[in-house]
Amino acid sequence: MDLSYSPEEQAFQAEVRGFLATHLPEHISSAVRAGGELSKEIMEEWHALLNAKGWLATTWPTAFGGPGWSPVERHIFEEECCRAYAPRIVPFGVSMLGPVLQKFGSKAQQDHYLPRILDGTDWWCQGYSEPGAGSDLASLKTRAVRDGDHYVINGQKTWTTLGQHADWIFCLCRTDPEAKPQAGISFILVDLNTPGIEMRPIKLIEGGHEVNEVFFTDVRVPVGNLVGEENKGWTIAKYLLTHERTGIAGVGFSIQALEEVKALARKLRRGGRPLIEDPLFAARLARVEVDLEAMKITNLRMLFQAQKQGAPGPETSILKIKGTLINQELRDLARRALGPLAAPMGVATESNLLFGPPDTGNNAARYFNNRKTSIFGGSNEIQRNILTKTMLEL
Amino acid sequence: MDFTPTETRQMLADSLRRYLAEQYPADHRNAVAYDAPFHDPAKWAELVDLGVLHALVPEGMGGFGGTGFDVTTVFEALGAALCPEPVLPALIAANLLILAGQDVAPLMDGSKTYAAAWMEPDAPFALQDITMTATTSDGGYRLSGRKSLVYGGAAASHILVAARLNGTLALFEMQASETTVEAYAMIDGGGAAELLLDNTEARLLLADASGAWEQAFEATTLALCAEAVGAMQWAYDTTLDYLKQRKQFGVPIGTFQVLQHRTVDLLMEIEQARSITIKAASEFGGPESARYTSMAKHLIGRAARQVVEETIQMHGGIAMTWEYPLSHYAKRLTMLDAQLGDTDEHLSRLLAGYAG
């Protein structure tokens, strides 16, 4: 038993820390700290900085221009990025489509799309969920009908995250309505500039614009945009959902949130004393801190397994469930610490940040927004179904 | 980073588990755990021969272990088998004796058995609450009053006692034969005793023993966490089997989603409990040892209650019977929370760390 990083991993950690200290611009980290939506420009600027270093596509093997990191190195990188308040890497092109094309795409698709993901030419979004197909994704109805050298797509996608910035969307479409639900689905790449596509914003609970709905009316897409075989899209969808799960616990973000809550609770006063000395508040805080300490080790144990077996197993669903619950609890505590002071709406600025930088703002908005984490990416109930099948074998 | 046990510890765990599975089946355990002397002296001798006590003592002191992971290896195996042998009192005593500069060889070879007496009715957890005070006469020391819940008291040849000397918490030793030991079974099996002292002569081992008691408690708290992990895993595995076998409405009850998701929740809590225990073991003896031990004991208390109440509920009536082994695991896991600081006590110790 040894819980510490190896000397090589420690050296890697120092290298990442050094890079972030010198290359993460202050205006970017302070935008992340403020806790609101990040502009497209900021996300693109950060992607370009990482790509110049060769650190953007953290899960890609070196053959495709990735850094070829181990699961532990990826974990260290994510942890350090959180610590430094770097933006999250937008996952749709880099972490989702990239690995799919590497496994299922043709040589021509790989040669064309992968470099454009890295250099930011194409911004991708995900076309999976539909109004009638959420947890039951295989019931999706968006149709793609073969017509000569094209597919003609009709239907609607929803919850399309950051679709407003995207140039392309990868879609699951039904190509065989007669087959069993999972057997008639294909994975198709669609240029969002194609006629017949309309993207509408969905305003979220806290007022932010993060997700969209996408309408497809007689959208003609070249058959060359099919990835893998026709009607085998479900295999790709499953691969994508289970492929990259090492960062799923969001431990780095929870460590960040815990530090923020502690900082708030030390500064805010109740009855003349720091809030952190209020035993009822402190008890809530200590409980979740213990959960997080355990989560850190659970996460490392599963990373260790993934490193040994070559791939993360189904037990990583535990990380998703527990990780999101812990993060939601911490966001609740930040809102709770501020009490009525959390009410002002809008982007955090010097004037409505209670203490000014380096404190964070938007704590009520972030609490409400973070309720999504137990719903998306396979709801926590779906994760329990997965664990029931795989770990409990019930 | 490496989460595989060393070869030596794996061998110890394997041999201990094999021995307990063969020699300590549930019916034998229940036959000895509730009647004097509340354990099986023959099996105790065999466990000693297996090296269970040597594993709790550092190499420099004649053992072959004594680190956090040695302690958790032994106690996780004991917990999985619900073993009522007095290893816990031996662990406290070994730590106290070492810190008092005493020879632990007789403890390790089984020629002396020790119990530790610190608890008082108004001092269930914290050392600073202990009030028993030593008096001096003719250059010797005498103790009066009552010590409660002396674990392993019935089986002990020697008793280590916590009492104040000039206001400072000290460590005394006495022979069990020189005092009144009223032994009884505990509800979760195993024996404890009330120690009734009436101007009883005691030998002073260490005048300022606060640190020694604290360190001994830390090791023992870690041991309790590991014991709980072993017992929770057993309760979980047993429940999972039951969900697959037990049929109602014509189908195994494990096909019901309401039970599936609750079982997944237990799986997650047990993994988290295991993780925090690993963390506490790795920090054991270091500057953050007390904090992580408190974290572990706090989380174990929460997890154990959920595991106990849910595994009984999912079994239904059968788990309410003395006959069905789960009921005894349930009692042990519940009462274990109350030993050396329950979930709230350790939470409040963590809160104290926030102030200032």
DSSP symbols for B287-354:
TTHHHHHHHHHHHHHHHHHHHHHHHHHHH-GGGGSSSSTHHHHHHHHHHHHTTTS-HHHHHHHHHHTT
Domain that holds residue A186: 124-233
Q: Which residue of B has its CA nearest to A282?
A: B351
HSE-up (13 A, CA, CB side) for residue A142 = 29
CB contact under 8 A, A1 and B2: yes
Mean pLDDT of B59-85: 97
pLDDT at A358: 47
CB contact under 8 A, B2 and A301: no
- Residue with more model confidence, B233 or A37: B233
* Alpha carbon distance B27, A266 (integer Å): 55
Which of A233, A258, A292 is the C-terminal boundary of a domain? Answer: A233
Together in a domain, A259 and A386? yes
Together in a domain, A49 and A168? no
Together in a domain, A220 and A145? yes
pLDDT band at A244 (very low <50, low <70, confident <90, very high): low
For residue A300, which residues of chain B lie inside 8 Å, CB to CB? 1, 3
User: Per-residue pLDDT tens for B322-350?
Assistant: 999 999 999 999 999 999 999 999 999 99
Mean pLDDT of A227-256: 86
pLDDT at A347: 57
Interface of A with B in 252-291 (CB under 8 A): 262, 276-277, 279, 282-283, 285-287, 289-291
Interface test with B, best of A1, A76, A246 (most B CBs within 10 A): A1
CB contact under 8 A, A1 and B295: no
pLDDT at A360: 61
Domain at B7-86, CATH homologous superfamily: Acyl-CoA dehydrogenase/oxidase, N-terminal domain (1.10.540.10)
Q: Does B306 touch chain A (CB under 8 A)?
A: no
Q: Does B243 touch chain A (CB under 8 A)?
A: yes
Contact B107/B114 with Cβ under 8 angstroms? yes
Domains held by chain A: number: 3
Question: Is A109 within the bounds of a domain?
Answer: no
Contact B188/B174 with Cβ under 8 angstroms? no
Mean of the per-residue pLDDT values for chain B?
Answer: 96
Mean pLDDT of B7-14: 95
**Facing residue for A290 by CB, picked from B264, B268, B295:** B295
**Facing residue for A392 by CB, picked from B2, B240, B281:** B240
Tokens 């709790």 belong to B56
For residue A391, which residues of chain B lie inside 8 Å, CB to CB? 264, 267
CB contact under 8 A, B264 and A391: yes
pLDDT at A349: 58
Range scoring the smallest mean pLDDT among A30-39, A254-263, A329-338, B205-214: A30-39
pLDDT at B356: 65
Together in a domain, A167 and A266? no
Together in a domain, A165 and A197? yes
**Assigned CATH class of B212-352:** mainly alpha
Interface test with B, best of A268, A388, A389, A390 (most B CBs within 10 A): A388
Interface of A with B in 321-360 (CB under 8 A): 321-322
Q: Which residue of B has its CA nearest to A288?
A: B299
pTM above 0.90, yes or no: yes
For residue A296, which residues of chain B lie inside 8 Å, CB to CB? 275, 279
pLDDT at B324: 97
Strands (E), A303-375: none
Amino acid at position A306, single letter? A
HSE-up (13 A, CA, CB side) for residue A339 = 6
Strands (E), B75-127: 114-117
By C-alpha distance, which of B308, B295, B312, B315 is closest to B334? B308
**Residue B109, Cβ neighbours under 10 Å: how many?**
13
- C-alpha separations of A179 from A147, A164, B104 in Å: 19, 33, 74
pLDDT score of A36 more than 80: no
CB contact under 8 A, A277 and B2: no
Question: Is A198 within the bounds of a domain?
Answer: yes
CB contact under 8 A, B1 and A6: yes
Together in a domain, A316 and A292? yes
Residues with Cβ within 8 Å of residue A67, at least 6 apart in sequence: A54, A55, A57, A58, A60, A73
Together in a domain, A163 and A253? no
For residue A322, which residues of chain B lie inside 8 Å, CB to CB? 268, 272
* Alpha carbon distance B167, B122 (integer Å): 17
Together in a domain, A226 and A250? no
Q: Does B292 touch chain A (CB under 8 A)?
A: yes
pLDDT score of B88 more than 80: yes
Mean pLDDT of A350-379: 77
Q: DSSP label at A59? A: T
For residue A282, which residues of chain B lie inside 8 Å, CB to CB? 351, 354
User: Per-residue pLDDT tens for B172-209?
Assistant: 999 999 999 999 999 999 999 999 999 999 999 999 99
Interface test with A, best of B265, B271, B277, B345 (most A CBs within 10 A): B271
pLDDT band at A313 (very low <50, low <70, confident <90, very high): confident
CB contact under 8 A, B264 and A387: yes
**Facing residue for A2 by CB, picked from B2, B252, B350:** B2
For residue B295, which residues of chain A lie inside 8 Å, CB to CB? 289-290, 293-294
Q: DSSP label at A130? A: B
CB contact under 8 A, A293 and B69: no
pLDDT band at A314 (very low <50, low <70, confident <90, very high): confident
CATH of B114-208, one of 3.30.450.70, 2.40.110.10, 3.40.50.1220, 1.10.10.10: 2.40.110.10
Does A244 participate in catalysis according to the annotation?
yes
DSSP string for B161-194:
EEEEETTEEEEEEEEGGGSEEEEEE-TTSSEEEE
Which of A89, A113, A144 is the C-terminal boundary of a domain? Answer: A89
User: Per-residue pLDDT tens for B116-173?
Assistant: 999 999 999 889 999 999 999 888 999 999 999 999 998 999 999 999 999 999 999 9
* Alpha carbon distance A128, B262 (integer Å): 29
Q: Does B280 touch chain A (CB under 8 A)?
A: no
Q: Which residue of A has its CA nearest to B350?
A: A286
- What ipTM was assigned to the predicted interfaces of this complex? 0.93
CB contact under 8 A, A283 and B281: no
CB contact under 8 A, B276 and A294: yes
Domain layout of chain B by residue ranges: 7-86, 114-208, 212-352
CB contact under 8 A, B261 and A381: yes
**A–B CB contacts, 8 A cutoff, strictly below:** 122
**Facing residue for B279 by CB, picked from A293, A303, A392:** A293
Alpha-carbon gap: A335 to the closest alpha carbon of chain B (Å):
19
pLDDT score of B110 more than 50: yes
pLDDT at B138: 87
CB contact under 8 A, B1 and A294: no
pLDDT at A248: 80
Question: Is A113 within the bounds of a domain?
Answer: no
**Active-site residue (options: A244, A260, A289, A329):** A244
CB contact under 8 A, B354 and A276: yes
Exposed, middle or buried: residue A230 (CB in 10 Å: 0-12, 13-18, 19+)?
A: middle
Please give the share of chain A, as a percent, with pLDDT higher than 90.
79
pLDDT at A350: 56
Please give the share of chain B, as a percent, with pLDDT higher than 90.
97
Q: Which residue of A has its CA nearest to B273?
A: A294
Mean pLDDT of A124-153: 96
By C-alpha distance, which of B291, B272, B148 is closest to B221? B291
Mean pLDDT of A73-100: 95
- The domain that holds A133 is classified in CATH as 2.40.110.10
Please give the share of chain A, as a percent, with pLDDT higher than 70.
95
pLDDT at A365: 87
Mean pLDDT of B9-35: 96
**Facing residue for B275 by CB, picked from A262, A298, A392:** A298
